[in-house]
Amino acid sequence: MSAAASNIDAFWMPFTANRDFRTKPRIISGASGHYYTTADGTRLYDTFSGLWTCGIGHCHPKVVAAVQRQVAELDYCIGFQVSNDKAFALAERVIDIAPEGFSNCFFTNSGSESVDTALKIALAYHRARGEGNRTRLIGREKGYHGVNFGGMSVGGMVPNRKVFSPNLIPGVDHLRHTLDLQHNAFSRGQPEWGMHLAGDLERLAGLHDGSNIAAVIVEPVAGSAGIIPPPVGYLEKMREICDRHGILLIFDEVITAFGRVGKAFGAERFGVKPDIITTAKGLTNGVIPMGAVIVRDHVYDAFMQGPPHMIEFFHGYTYSGHPVAAAAGLAVLDVYKEEGTFEQAASLEQTFEDILHSFADHDKVIDVRNFGLMGAIELASRDGAPGARGLEIHKKCFWDEHLVVRNGMDVLQFSPFLNSDVDEMQRSFEVIRRVIDTVD
Ligand SMILES: Cc1ncc(COP(=O)(O)O)c(C=O)c1O
């Protein structure tokens, strides 16, 4: 067996059918701009911009140069009681583009860590204010908040929860999700139906007494469950209920932050201000793993009590504020500004929406959903084989058409580059239509 083959055996791949993968591997060895390349030099167009990560394209020269410079200048720096110049600079820059009132930024290494950090901040915030009874956390069905125990517990993706069900953290309830094809199939953007479902929070506040609830966490637009935009008025109503009961509102913006919905944050786009925002992915364009939790001043201030020599929050990671990741983040934020990336993303929305909804007439398609540059084409499942059609399309696109297309079961998901070329985007969807035609 060749060295390459034994490498393939050793890597236990995440969220992958490992045995199926090894029968005919899909391995990328290079990338530039909007394309991946394989070892034999084949170029593949990336319809998912990484994993929602690489909005400005792969290997952006400014980001590559910043990382190269930083790794030679300061490769690592202790992050507890000492830190590095780039981490402070990046925190300031993130706060500069955050909605008004957000004052502080806590660095993590991933979306999952951002979520668990945010949940811990919420619990500790209430305790610091003398409301330690507020321990209950609320998530939502179909929510995805990463794979750590907190995020998994508030999340609502059944396959991710199933095996760990007895070990999920106690004291968590879930709102109903808002995807109902009878009422909101083929909505363009936000569906008109479903605002009333935010009222589930009021019901839970009635059941437990709102004074026992610490926080509710939602993705402003659910991503991993297959792009579920919030119904009109839904997030506004959620904010109102939180205010009435003193509940913290956490927006998980690991996908929606940094231009994906045409603004720096979903909070800005929807005009609804949460208390805490979690981010990752677009913070560094995926180049170096990094996440950030940003909080409003009242949250931060609640911690800044007691003797000043005491650590205010016993939490952090060896790599929080890593200088190379922070340098990547600074370069990425520069590019967003210099190239007008968020505005460019906003200008592509209508074209993207029109292309996606042109699939509505296809007999295998049961729904099309979109918001910003997030989109989904939901296919009918084959009898007795949910997910098989989606996976076959993914593989056919990769091997025969040189397109990387993500499927979540039978939902084809799309995350175009924020600086997509319209012709390229159009061509990729022509190919996808042909592939949908040709599979069973
Ligand atoms: C909304 C949301 N939260 C959290 C996560 C977890 O992020 P990570 O995979 O970086 O841990 C994701 C990942 O896709 C996500 O979409």
Domain that holds residue 91: 64-338
- We report the CATH number of the domain holding residue 68 as 3.40.640.10
| Mean pLDDT, rounded, of the chain | 97
The neighbour count for residue 28, using CB atoms within 10 Å, is 15
What pLDDT is attached to residue 6? 57
- The model's pLDDT over 208-257, given as tens digits with 9 standing for 90+, comes to 999 999 999 999 999 999 999 999 999 999 999 999 999 999 999 999 99
Alpha-carbon Rg for the chain, nearest whole angstrom, is 22
- Say if residue 354 is in the same domain as residue 307: no
Q: Are residues 179 and 216 in the same domain?
A: yes
Q: Could you tell me if the CB of 280 is within 6 A of ligand 1?
A: yes
Q: Ligand 1 within 6 A of 289 CB?
A: no
* pLDDT score at 304: 97
215 plus 297 within the same structural domain: yes
Phi, psi at 162, each rounded to 5°: -50, -55
Number of domains in the chain: 2
pLDDT at 135 over 70: yes
Tell whether ligand 1 has an atom less than 6 A from the beta carbon of residue 257: no
pLDDT of residue 40: 94
Residue range 8-36: mean pLDDT, rounded: 95
Per this entry, what is the length of the chain?
440
Q: What is the pLDDT of residues 304-326, one digit of tens each?
A: 999 999 999 999 999 999 999 99
Choose the final residue of a domain: 338, 358, 380: 338
Asked whether residue 375 falls in the same domain as residue 263, the answer is no
The confidence score (pLDDT) of residue 73 equals 98
CATH number, domain of 10, equals 3.90.1150.10
Residue 119 Cβ contacting ligand 1 at under 6 Å: no
Task: Please indicate, yes or no, whether residues 249 and 367 belong to a single structural domain of this protein.
Answer: no
Ligand 1 atom with minimal separation from the 151 CA: 4
Pocket flag, ligand 1, residue 110 (CB < 6 Å): yes
**Protein residue whose Cα sits closest to atom 8 of ligand 1:** 111
- Is there a single domain that holds both residue 160 and residue 304? yes
Query: Closest ligand 1 atom, CA of 289?
Result: 10
Residues 415 and 434 in one domain: yes
Residues 311 and 377 in one domain: no
Residue 356 has pLDDT above 70, yes or no: yes
Q: Of the candidates 338, 353, 382, which is a domain's last residue? A: 338
Domain final position from 338, 373, 403? 338
What is the mean predicted confidence (pLDDT) over 73-90?
98
Q: Which atom of ligand 1 is nearest to the CA of 113?
A: 11
Q: Which of 115, 147, 149, 221 to mutate to test the pocket of ligand 1 (most atoms within 8 A of CB)?
A: 115
Q: What is the pLDDT of residue 2?
A: 38
pLDDT at 295 over 60: yes
Say if residue 331 is in the same domain as residue 241: yes
